Structure 1
C-alpha cells in the first residue's frame, strides 16, 4: 500500500452546510441514529424520525420530545431542514421525497461532524471494540467531572442511554469505518483500537482498510492526537504512513509491546472480574473491570493512554476507566437460571467471536460453553464462514446455528458454510430456527454452563424466552 489518500467512493451527494434546526432521521431507531437524534433534541432542534418498527429506543426519543413514527412514508419529511440517512436506509421513500423537494439529504456522519464542530471531537475507530471504548471514555470523563457529550453505537444501560449532550468541551463519538463514513470527520483526537479485514461487501482486503484508516487519520485537525495499538502490525503500518502525511500529529501507543507508550501486563480474571497492571512513563496503576473480556481490558488501556496524553496521572486514569459498567450486547449477562448463565453478545467477526468465547470459558470454569450463533450478512459468511466455524469448534462445546441474518442473499451462502467448518474442525453443531433454539438450549444446558447469544441481528431477543424456558425446564415457573 502506498501513502496515497483516497477519496470516499461509497458516499456522495450533499456536501454543503448542514442545518440541524428541524432534522428528520430515517431509521431513527438505530443505535447511532437515535443517539444523534437525542443530542439534536437536547440542543434545541425540532427532531422527527421514522423507523420500520417500534422499539424502546423510539419510546425514549418520544420522552425526549422527538416526533417519531413507525413506518416509512414520503410525507414524513415535510418541513424538514435536512433528512438524515445511513447506508441501510438509502432506499426509503423519505429519501426520494426529500431529494424531490430539494431538502438536503445528509449521512449521519455529517450530522455528527456538525454537532461536534465547536467541540474537541474524539473519534473512536477500529474493527473491534469501538462501542466499548467509546463507552469507557464517556464513563471515565463523566467520572472525572468533565460532562462530555457522547454518541455510542449502542445503549449503555437503558434504551436511549448511549448518547448525551454535555456542557463540557469534549465530544466523544464512535467513528464508523464500514462504509468509510468516518472520512467525513475532522477529529481533534482519535483512538484506533484494532484493524482487521471486515465488511467484505465494501472492502476487498486488509489493504483497502489500511487506506481507509490512513485517510481518516490524515483528515484530523492540526496538532491532532492519535492513540494506536502497538501490538498490531496493521495499526502501526497506518501510524507510519500517517506520520508522513500529517507530520504534526502526536502519536501515543498502548499495548503489551515493550515499545508501547502505555503498557499493560498479564490479565488476571476471576469470574466476571478482570484486572491488569498498567505502566506509563510517569506512573503505574491497575485497571479493574466488571468484565472477563480481554478485549474490554485492552479497550480500557487505550482510554488510559488517551487520558495520560491529556495530562491525567496514571492513577487517576485507571480509577476513571474502572468506573465503566458496560455496554449492552457487549458480553452482557442477561440472567441466570438453575446455574445456567445467558450472555448477550454483538460479535459477528471471527476475532470478536473468539474473544467472547474466551471470556465465556473464563466464566464457565468447569462448565460448558453453548454458542447460539446468528451469522451476520451473506457477504461476511461467504468470506469468513470457515474462520467463524473454526473458532466456534475451538471455543464452544456446542454450537447452535440459526439462519443468516441480513439482506441481499447470495446463492449458495447459508449457515451451512459455518456449520461445515465447525464439523471439519472437530466441533459439535446443531441447526435450529429462532423458535426451536430456545427449546433446544433449555434441553441441552446444565448447571455451570454459559450460553452465548452471538450476532448483530435479533438473536439477542432470544434471551428472555430462553431464560423462561430454562426456568420451566428446571421446574422454576415464572
Structure 2
C-alpha cells in the first residue's frame, strides 16, 4: 500500500473528475484534517476534483495538513467568503459541531452543504455493482480491518477512503476499478450527531445508498453519541448489512456477542449472503491457525472452501490479528488470489498510531494506541502486557468525549486493571465549553476499585500540577511499557514523554 495520492488539478484550471457527480467537482471540506475527512479529500483529489479545506489553527501546519498539500489539496484556516461562491459544494465533518462561518457563508451563497456521510455516498456511486465496492462497518474496531482490506486489495487499480491510514500510506487514493471504504460513523471526537445534510437546493442531490459487493461488519455495541443502546446499534448494523450482496461477520466466542443477534436477524428474511469467520468447522471461512510467534506477530491459516491462505500477520495483539484475518476472509469472498493475499498480508504495516511503538528510552518502551471505545482500550492494554515481558504496563488514557466517557466510565476504569498504573488525562471534548459534570472523576473512582489509589493519577492543568509525562517518567522502570491511549492531546504527550526520558538520568 505504498501508492502515492495523485495531485489534484491546479487552481484556476477546470477539473475533470473521473465519474464524480458535478456537485463534488470543486469542493471544500470543513475540518479537513479530522479522521475520515483526510481520506475523502485525497480520494476526490485523485479523481480530478479541485479540493480545498480548512482546519483549526493548531492543525493548519500539522502533519496531516502537510500530507494533503503534498497531494495538491489547499489547506488553510478559513476560506475567504469571495471564494465560497465558486464551490460546487461544501462538506463538513461531524467533529465540527459548533457554528462555523464557512458554513454560514455557504448557506448565504446557496452552495450545497453536505455531511461527510452524504458526500461519501455520492463518491461511492461510481463503484456500485459487480465487485467494485468493498466496505467495513462497525461500532468500533474498523481501523485495522479497513486498512488491511485496502492493503490486501491494492493491485494498482484499487482505491480507498479510510478513517485512519496505514503508516507511510495515504488515507485516501483513487483506483479505477475498485474502492474500499470504512463506513464507521465513529470517526472523531464529538458530543452530538448533527442532522445531515445542512442545506440542499430544491430537487437536487438525492443521497444514494451504497451497495457494496462485500461488507465486513466488525462489532456491534452501544457507542455514544451514535448508538445510545444495543437495539439502536443493532438496527443500524442490520440496515448497513442489507445494502451489501455479501456480509462477512466474525463468529468467535470471545469477540463480540451481539454479532450473533445480527446473524439471526439476517436469517429471518431474504437478504445478503452471510459468510462467517471463525475457528468452528461450520464457519464459511475457517481460521485453522492463529498463533503468536516469537519476534512479534501471528501465524495464520485460513480455509475458504478448497482455498487456503497461510501467512504471517504482522500485528500487535490478538484482536488486531483477528481483524486482519477477517479482512483476508473478505478478500477471499471477493475472489482474490490466495497466494497474492498471503504475500500482501505479510507486508501489512498496521494502522498509524494503533499499537505503534514510538521508541525505547532508558529501557522504557512508549507505544501509541488510537483506542476510543472501551472494548478497544481493554484489548490494547492486554496487548501491551504481551510486550512487557519483564516489566509493567503504565496506561496513559485520554477518555474520548464527555458523552461517551459518562456512559463508559465504570467500564473504562475496570479496563485499566490490565495495567500496573493509570494516568488519566482530561477528557477530549468536541466542544470548547460544556456545562456538564466532568466524568473523569468517575473513571478514576472506578479504576481505584481494582488498582491501589496511589497508582491512579488524574492530570489537571495548572501552574503547580505535574504533567502526565512527568508523572510517568517518575515511576517508569527498565522493562516497562507505557501505552498512551487517545487521539486528541495524547499523541503530543507520547512525544514529550520520549523527550523527557531522553534527558532524565
Question: Which TM-score bucket, shorter chain as reference?
Answer: 0.7 to 0.9
Q: Which residue of 1 aligns with 2:332?
A: 308
2:475 maps to 1:444: yes
CA deviation after TM superposition for structure 1 residue 235, in Å:
1.8
Deviations 1:379-399 (CA, angstroms, capped at 9, x unpaired)? 112111010100102x10010
Check conservation: 2:426, 2:440, Cα contact below 8 A.
yes
Secondary structure of 1:19's partner?
Answer: helix
Q: Which residue of 2 aligns with 1:48?
A: 52
Check conservation: 2:34, 2:93, Cα contact below 8 A.
no
CA deviation after TM superposition for structure 1 residue 66, in Å:
2.1
Q: Which residue of 2 aligns with 1:177?
A: 185
Q: Which residue of 1 aligns with 2:349?
A: 325
Pick from 56, 61, 71: which aligns with 1:64? 71
2:26 maps to 1:22: yes
Deviations 1:11-46 (CA, angstroms, capped at 9, x unpaired)? xxxxxx661111011111113112211121221111
More off after superposition, 122-131 vs 423-432? 423-432
How many residues of Structure 1 are paired with residues of Structure 2 in the alignment?
448
For 1:232-243, what aligned pairs fall within 5 Å after superposition? 232-243=256-267
For 1:20-419, what aligned pairs fall within 5 Å after superposition? 20-53=24-57, 54=60, 55-71=62-78, 74-75=81-82, 77-90=84-97, 91-119=99-127, 120-142=132-154, 145-158=155-168, 161-167=170-176, 169-178=177-186, 184-199=209-224, 201-220=225-244, 224-231=245-252, 232-244=256-268, 247-264=270-287, 265-312=289-336, 314-393=338-417, 395-406=418-429, 407=431, 409=434, 411-419=436-444
- Aligned equivalents of 1:77, 1:59: Cα separation in 2: 23
- Aligned equivalents of 1:41, 1:348: Cα separation in 2: 29
Question: Is the alpha carbon distance of 1:410 and 1:381 closer, same or farther for their aligned partners in structure 2, counting shifts above 3 Å?
Answer: farther
CA deviation after TM superposition for structure 1 residue 267, in Å:
2.7
Q: Which residue of 1 aligns with 2:16?
A: none
Name stretches of at least 5 consecutive residues in structure 2 with no aligned partner.
1-20, 187-192, 197-206
Deviations 1:34-77 (CA, angstroms, capped at 9, x unpaired)? 22111212211111211112122222222222222124765552
Secondary structure of 1:58's partner?
Answer: helix
Check conservation: 1:183, 1:219, Cα contact below 8 A.
no
2:488 maps to 1:457: yes
Question: Is the alpha carbon distance of 1:47 and 1:411 closer, same or farther for their aligned partners in structure 2, counting shifts above 3 Å?
Answer: closer
Check conservation: 2:27, 2:50, Cα contact below 8 A.
yes
CA deviation after TM superposition for structure 1 residue 340, in Å:
1.0
2:482 maps to 1:473: no
Check conservation: 2:122, 2:208, Cα contact below 8 A.
no
Check conservation: 1:282, 1:314, Cα contact below 8 A.
no
Check conservation: 1:75, 1:94, Cα contact below 8 A.
no
More off after superposition, 263-272 vs 450-459? 263-272
Check conservation: 2:124, 2:210, Cα contact below 8 A.
no
TM-score by length of 1: 0.87
TM-score by length of 2: 0.83
- Aligned equivalents of 1:76, 1:294: Cα separation in 2: 49
CA deviation after TM superposition for structure 1 residue 358, in Å:
1.1
Deviations 1:401-423 (CA, angstroms, capped at 9, x unpaired)? 11111136353333111111111
CA deviation after TM superposition for structure 1 residue 456, in Å:
2.8
Name stretches of at least 5 consecutive residues in structure 1 with no aligned partner.
1-16
- Aligned equivalents of 2:400, 2:80: Cα separation in 1: 28
Question: Is the alpha carbon distance of 1:110 and 1:27 closer, same or farther for their aligned partners in structure 2, counting shifts above 3 Å?
Answer: same
CA deviation after TM superposition for structure 1 residue 208, in Å:
0.5
- Aligned equivalents of 1:235, 1:117: Cα separation in 2: 28
Check conservation: 1:32, 1:153, Cα contact below 8 A.
yes
